[in-house]
């Protein structure tokens, strides 16, 4: 455990004697040799602005040591507006976990993501995941609902004896469960986490593709870890996060992406791309501004829909704003189907998108990373169905064919790049149709599918290597390492 370091005053170091975790005083840390890569747990008693503990976190960042808490966290917790954002993100979980509390006030003490009362551990971990401080206390108050009043960093010194012992136990367990650091002589320069869900029915990458990703990343100097959200992962342990689980704004994928971005990790999909790509209303307005040719589409709320529904041309496509992988997307052939689907969607969304139906034998998919084309595929419609995935038949999919991008209609490539570049410089899958020589952009997806034998059919393992090299370039830029 010599890569993990507790910074704490001399008088408290005896508590850690049996933990095998190295301890050092704040002043000694400020004067120490900085060559070894470390994870620093700053338990200094004084964390105020320009106090000794404050400088520990400040210099840890300068030394490229991963430190808890960071200077940003120390400063953020002084801002009530930021604390309010924490309250909004965890609102539903807070209400659920505290609903049986009889008092109208509650204090939750969190030590390395745990609370002494096990039933509060899920809430404690979610606070820890966002706040990223070793020891802190959340003060909550109930009026109509529970809200956060303030969040306070705790010093080890301020804890009662039983809590000190619990804290040491939790840190020891935490370090043993999260040994992510690489020996100095390792051939790996960066730690990469690939977020997956082993239970997902149609993940963005199949098992064989994940193996190819792991091999490519290792060849490019990454130590690779497959992680799952249910493991209560701490993304700050890594240098980069690659999300290979279907994303959604109201989902842990978005929360982990946002946390990773906040912690300074290289992350794909980045939270901004998830926000933009997952909302079809945003995309429609963006494509309108870009003057990109696309199926005629209109946005409706329930009132507007009821006024104009009978004038909508049929057949048409009805989309929920955050639809993905053909879910939440429906075809209406009759007015009755249109009205039924729309009313069903309005139960969970204020707005829907009604789009012109353009039948085609296949859709183009252009994979783009960092503003460059990775692959081009034809996705054929599922047998007897109007989509490439038939969710009514156990997610049955049509055939596919990867092609040489240089031999594809230039207008397909040009349109895809124009749309993707307007979103960002991440990894995107742009869907288009080509009908009678005209190119129509359908949508831009974050978290595009990359499966063995499909998207890699034309360039093979080079596809995975290109993505790994992109991560490497960004990690080197982040670390100021251009070797």
Q: Residue 434 pairs with which residues in a beta bridge?
A: 439
pLDDT at 84: 64
CA separation for the pair 403, 400 (Å, rounded) = 10
pTM: predicted TM-score of the whole model, two decimal places: 0.67
Mean pLDDT is highest, among 25-34, 41-50, 331-340, for 331-340
DSSP letters for 29-50 = HHHS---S--EEEE--S--STT
Residue 212's pLDDT is what?
96
Domains and CATH numbers, the chain: 1-181 (no CATH), 190-272 (3.40.50.20), 296-357 (3.30.1490.20)
CB atoms within 10 A of CB 453: 12
Q: Where are the alpha helices (DSSP H) in 239-362?
A: 252-262, 271-277, 280-290, 302-308, 335-346
Residue 396: pLDDT above 50? yes
Judge whether residue 237 has pLDDT over 90: no
Q: What is the mean pLDDT of residues 169-187?
A: 63
Q: Residue 297: how many CA atoms within 13 Å on its side-chain side? A: 29
What is the per-residue pLDDT for 45?
86
Q: Above 70 in pLDDT, residue 83? A: no
The predicted-structure confidence for 262-298, as pLDDT tens digits, reads as follows 888 999 999 999 989 988 888 888 988 999 999 988 8
Rg, the chain, Cα only:
25
DSSP state letter for 379: E
């Amino acid at each position: 455990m010599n890569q993990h370091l507790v910074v704490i005053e001399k008088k408290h170091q005896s508590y850690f004697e049996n933990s095998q975790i190295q301890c050092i005083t704040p002043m000694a840390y400020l004067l120490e040799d900085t060559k070894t890569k470390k994870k620093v747990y700053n338990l200094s008693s004084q964390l105020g602005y320009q106090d000794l503990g404050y400088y520990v976190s400040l210099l840890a960042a300068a030394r490229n040591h991963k430190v808890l808490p960071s200077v940003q966290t120390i400063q953020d917790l002084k801002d009530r507006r930021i604390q309010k954002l924490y309250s909004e993100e965890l609102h539903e979980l807070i209400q659920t976990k505290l609903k049986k509390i009889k008092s109208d006030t509650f204090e939750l003490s969190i030590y390395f993501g745990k609370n002494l009362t096990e039933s509060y551990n899920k809430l404690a971990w979610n606070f820890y995941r966002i706040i990223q401080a070793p020891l802190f206390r959340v003060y909550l108050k109930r009026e109509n609902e529970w809200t956060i009043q303030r969040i306070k960093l705790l010093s080890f010194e301020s804890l009662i004896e039983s809590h000190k012992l619990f804290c040491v136990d939790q840190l020891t367990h935490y370090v043993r469960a999260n040994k992510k650091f690489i020996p100095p002589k390792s051939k790996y320069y960066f730690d990469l986490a690939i977020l997956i869900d082993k239970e997902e029915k149609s993940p963005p990458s199949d098992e064989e593709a994940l193996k190819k990703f792991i091999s490519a990343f290792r060849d490019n100097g990454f130590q690779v870890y497959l992680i799952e959200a249910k493991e209560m992962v701490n993304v700050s342990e890594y240098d980069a996060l690659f999300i290979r689980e279907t994303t959604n704004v109201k989902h842990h994928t978005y929360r982990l992406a946002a946390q990773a971005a906040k912690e300074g990790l290289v992350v794909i999909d980045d939270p901004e791309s998830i926000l933009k790509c997952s909302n079809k209303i945003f995309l429609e307005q963006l494509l309108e501004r870009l003057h990109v040719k696309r199926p005629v589409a209109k946005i409706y709320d329930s009132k507007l829909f009821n006024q104009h529904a009978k004038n909508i041309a049929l057949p048409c496509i009805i989309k929920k704003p955050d639809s993905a992988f053909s879910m939440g997307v429906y075809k209406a052939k009759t007015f009755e189907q249109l009205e039924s689907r729309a009313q069903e969607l309005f139960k969970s969304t204020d707005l829907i998108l009604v789009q012109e139906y353009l039948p085609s034998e296949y859709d183009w998919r252009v994979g783009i990373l960092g503003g460059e084309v990775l692959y081009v595929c034809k996705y054929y419609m599922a047998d007897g169905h109007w989509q490439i995935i038939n969710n009514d038949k156990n997610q049955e999919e049509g055939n596919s064919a990867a092609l040489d991008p240089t031999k594809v209609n230039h207008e397909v490539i040009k349109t895809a790049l124009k749309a993707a570049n307007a979103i960002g410089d991440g990894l995107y899958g742009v869907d288009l149709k080509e009908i009678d020589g005209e190119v129509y952009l359908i949508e831009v997806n974050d978290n595009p599918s990359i499966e063995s034998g499909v998207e890699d059919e034309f360039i093979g393992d080079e596809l995975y290597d290109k993505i790994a090299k992109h991560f490497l370039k960004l990690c080197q830029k982040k670390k100021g390492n251009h070797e």
